[in-house]
């Protein structure tokens, strides 16, 4: 009489454990990068809201606002973003907290996202925005690369 196999053999279980270990070794670093990008994107979204306010201020008063408060931008820090400022040139800068994202510069410190307006003085309008950053490129949205 044949005996039926019940359960898994030890080698089958070891193969499954090895496969799960390999997948975890690949997935965990990718997941950490994804989380850091989402935190930096929160700061980029805050810049987007302020960009609208600065553009509206310029279109209404035909001058750049003196600071973030006069532009109507929120300067309240969040868990991942702090110290939003608007320069007299119209540049909007926000500091990304590197300790919470792991997205700091090479020294591991905080980094900045900056939006720079392209102002057409002939027509008195802001024609576009460009981004620059001190953050690691792999963490920032495409506009800042």
| Predicted pLDDT of residue 111 | 87
Report pLDDT digits (tens) over 81-117.
Answer: 888 999 999 999 999 886 555 544 444 457 899 999 9
What is the distance between the alpha carbons of residues 68 and 115, in angstroms, rounded to a whole number?
13
What is the distance between the alpha carbons of residues 63 and 28, in angstroms, rounded to a whole number?
48
Report pLDDT digits (tens) over 61-83.
Answer: 999 999 999 999 988 888 888 88
| Predicted pLDDT of residue 18 | 96
CATH number for region 10-144: 3.30.700.10
Token readout for 144 is: 């800042």
| Sign of torsion over alpha carbons 49, 51, 53, 59 | negative
Total-model pTM: 0.76
Where b means 16+ CB within 10 Å and e means fewer, 113-136 reads bbbbbebeeeeeebeebebebbbb
């Amino acid at each position: 009489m044949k005996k039926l196999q019940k359960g898994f053999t030890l080698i089958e279980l070891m193969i499954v454990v090895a496969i799960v270990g390999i997948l975890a070794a690949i997935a965990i670093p990718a997941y950490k990068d994804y989380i850091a990008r989402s935190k930096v994107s929160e700061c980029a979204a805050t810049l987007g809201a302020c960009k609208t306010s600065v553009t509206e201020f310029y279109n209404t008063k035909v001058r750049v606002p003196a600071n973030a408060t006069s532009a109507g931008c929120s300067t309240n820090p969040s868990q991942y973003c702090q110290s939003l400022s608007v320069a007299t040139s119209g540049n909007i800068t926000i500091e990304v907290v590197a300790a919470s994202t792991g997205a700091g510069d090479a020294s591991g410190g905080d980094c900045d996202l900056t939006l720079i307006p392209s102002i057409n003085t002939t027509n008195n309008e802001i024609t576009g925005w460009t981004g620059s950053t001190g953050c690691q490129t792999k963490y920032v949205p495409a506009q800042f690369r």
